[in-house]
Structure 1
Amino acid sequence: MPASRISRANRPSMIGEKVNLCMATRHKSMMYLKIVRAKGREYCYFDTGQKDARGKTIYARLPTRSDRDFAVKYATMLGHRTRRANVQALLTVPKLVEMYQDSSHFAGLAPASRKIYALYLGVFAAMLPTAPAGLVERKDVATLLEKRAKTPAAANMILATISALYKWARKNGHVNNRPADDLDPMDIGEHDPWPEALVQSALEASDVRVRLSVHLLYYTAQRIGDVVRMRWGDIANGEIAVRQQKTGAQLVIPLHPDLEKELAKHARDLAPIIKGQHGKGLATMTLRTNIQQWAAERGHKVVPHGLRKNAVNTLLELGCSVAQTAAISGQSIQMIELYAKKRSQAKLARSAMQIWSKNR
């Protein structure tokens, strides 16, 4: 490569030396050797093939070429780089995924997170079944995500999973590449609250599973994954205890009178409140599909998570404080404020005026 001028910011670090301008060349016959000349002196650096936390190439200092130890140290570094490259070439994406899932870090994740990660790690491994994990590039991941453009939420989960996988792999010295960096999540829009008429229709539905599920989703303001795990034993003294899978937060939520009336229609036992065909628990995806199909038959495209926004907005519109609302939903105050963007101004105004008129 022809000589080129480089700035101090771009050339290898030379601690203690003040050099405003120097000449840097790569030696033609010696791979990965970079020579920097400044003020009549020569400095040799070896390109290790590794990257630092900012993604910059890591160079190792070598003796000058006239030093009798130069050849030995150069050969040693070249050997290390070659061995790393060979190991990385043999470490395929599926093998790296397997190692991650066997790690203590993965075991320490929340059960819900492990389940989601396992799903999308499997998708990633299936997409690149023979690819060397250490050679996967950003453009490869971008291509994979584009193939999932019709399902942006799934694409974003794949991206998040790949990012977590490679962060762990770099930290443990398995790879140096950063294929998920600088890739933006796809826009999936917001989970809109349900139309009020549809909420009321669901609360009165003849479909028992839909009716019971919507009562639990709406009157507890919880995620569907937490609702399917609710058991009769969690209810005591007019309250239901919830341990959120995503956050680990433990909540005690008073039962709304309408939810109590609905629960009274069902026999109590040791099983989950929402049951499948054989009286056992129901998978989250199955319940989500049931609810969405029911809504689709009535001309609406919704997601169960939208009911969480309905609940938050209803609480706020009735005059509850953000802190009171957060105590029921288990969300942060910032998230409550985000969800509250679509609350009804008219209802808020009527609620405020009632409070005002009572305190005149």
Structure 2
Amino acid sequence: MARIVKFVKRTKAKGRFYYYFDTGQTGDDGKRVWKRLPDPADRSFAATYAAHLGHRARRENVVQQLTLAKLIALYQASDKFTKMAASTRRLYELYQADLVDKLGTAPAQLVERKDIVLLLDKMADRPGAANMVKRAGSAAYAWGRKRGHVTNDPFFEIEEMDTGEHQPWPDAALQLALASDDDLVRLSVHLLYYTAQRIGDVASMKWRDIQGDAICITQRKTGKPLDIPIHQDLAKELARHSRSLSTIIPGAPTEAKNNRIRLAIQSVCASIGVKVVPHGLRKNAVNALLEAGCSSAETAAISGQSLQMVEYYAKGRSQAKLGRAAMLKWEGT
């Protein structure tokens, strides 16, 4: 027995020794699968051990040929994935595609923690996207381990990046962007601000979504349908552009389009030394609605948020503007 130790463990129970072979597999419960071996004194031990060793070697060879792209394809075809909320599936598909683009041809079993760390570090300028790549990739590997497709976990104990909290824009940056000479910036900021929606939803808005005096959309993240009345200033901006059968902001709604909008907006605001993110305009919109005297429920009807989220977003609202709005209502009674 001293010469044959690879993948074998010995245990003792009731005064007897028992031998087990590590198959390299994990069961549905995530635990390592061991196969009982005969006693080394038994003449069948060598043949049984050789058979298990050969099976493990063949399986490891097959596993190593399963690329990361194929693992993710299997995951996305699984019941685990298809039973997720539609919004979660779309997010995972988006960020798993990013993972496949960078490491898709690598054998899934051979991807190491350092490979993922390097990939995420290269996304340090997009911490939110990096965190989503980690979550989406980790989910695929967790599923793969339970199914026995892989045994490794390259996402083990990788901490998420600090994204900070998106702040509302300073008034100077908002007014600059609303009046920009750049058509993409001006149109994008009008839609982001006056509809209080996320950049992905704004990029997906089509001209046919405008029905009467409202823009009718279904939020991609929540699946919530909204009829958003068109603010008079947004109506003026929309009138400056030719209608088509496509999206209001030209270009197919993709992450690349979102980045193009984001970079154009940030470039304009950087000209006055202000760093912004498009999502901050949701806070500007929520604050503007509340400062105009709208209730939390009325504000939520525009933004599509919960009442609790409206209140959370509204922490930076102007006390002075709220006070004036309240006094006008009081005087009106």
**TM-score bracket for the superposition, by shorter chain length:** 0.7 to 0.9
CA distance in 2, matches of 1:259, 1:174: 52
Deviation at residue 335 of structure 1 after TM alignment: 3.9
1:241-264 Cα shifts (integer Å, max 9, x gaps): 112233333221122232223323
The corresponding residue for 2:270 is 296
Aligned to 2:280: 306
SS at 2:204's partner residue? coil
The residue number in structure 1 matching 2:223 is 248
Given the superposition, is the C-alpha separation of residues 113 and 45 from structure 1 closer, same or farther in structure 2, using an over 3 Å criterion?
closer
Partner of 2:149: 174
Partner in structure 2 of residue 326 of structure 1: 300
CA distance in 2, matches of 1:75, 1:293: 65
Relative contact order higher in (CA < 8 Å, ≥ 6 apart): 2
TM-score by length of 2: 0.80
Who is 1:195 aligned against? 170
- CA displacement 1:6-36 (0-9 Å, x = unmatched): xxxxxxxxxxxxxxxxxxxx96523211111
SS at 2:282's partner residue? helix
Q: Within 2, Cα distance between the matches of 1:336 and 1:66?
A: 73
Aligned-pair identity in percent equals: 53
Q: Say if 1:32 and 1:338 are closer, same or farther in 2 by CA, change over 3 A.
A: farther
Change (3 A) 1:292 1:146: closer
State whether structure 2 residue 19 is matched by structure 1 residue 44. Answer: yes
Residue number in structure 1 paired with 2:103: 124
Map 1:178-257 onto structure 2 (within 5 A): 178-257=153-232
Deviation at 1:164, TM superposition (A): 3.3
Change (3 A) 1:146 1:275: closer
User: Residues 75 and 144 of structure 2 are in contact (CA less than 8 Å); yes or no, is this contact kept in structure 1?
Assistant: no
Moved more, 318-327 or 217-226: 318-327
Counterpart residue number, 2:63: 88
Give the Cα separation in 2 of the matches to 1:338 and 1:41: 65
CA distance in 2: counterparts of 1:286 and 1:187, whole angstroms: 23
| Contact 1:93–1:132 (CA under 8 A) maintained in structure 2 | yes
Deviation at 1:186, TM superposition (A): 0.9
Query: Structure 2: any 5+ residue segments left out of the alignment?
Result: none
Q: Could you tell me which amino acid in structure 2 is paired with residue 240 of structure 1? A: I
Query: What's the C-alpha RMSD, in Å, of the aligned pairs?
Result: 3.5
Number of residues of Structure 1 aligned to a counterpart in Structure 2: 326
Q: 1:354 to 1:100 in 2, by over 3 A?
A: farther
Once the two structures are overlaid, the 10-residue window that deviates more, 212-221 or 350-359, is 350-359
Structure 1's 340 and 67: CA in aligned 2 closer, same or farther, altered over 3 A?
farther
Distance 1:284 1:142, change over 3 A: closer
When residues 147 and 197 of structure 1 are mapped into structure 2, their CA distance, relative to the original with a 3 A threshold, is closer
Separation in 1 of the partners of 2:208 and 2:248? 9
> Which protein is richer in helix relative to its size?
2
The code of the aligned residue for 2:299 comes to T
The one-letter code matched in structure 1 to 2:53 is: L
- Unmatched tracts of structure 1, length 5 or more: 1-25
Distance 2:279 2:139 in 1: 25
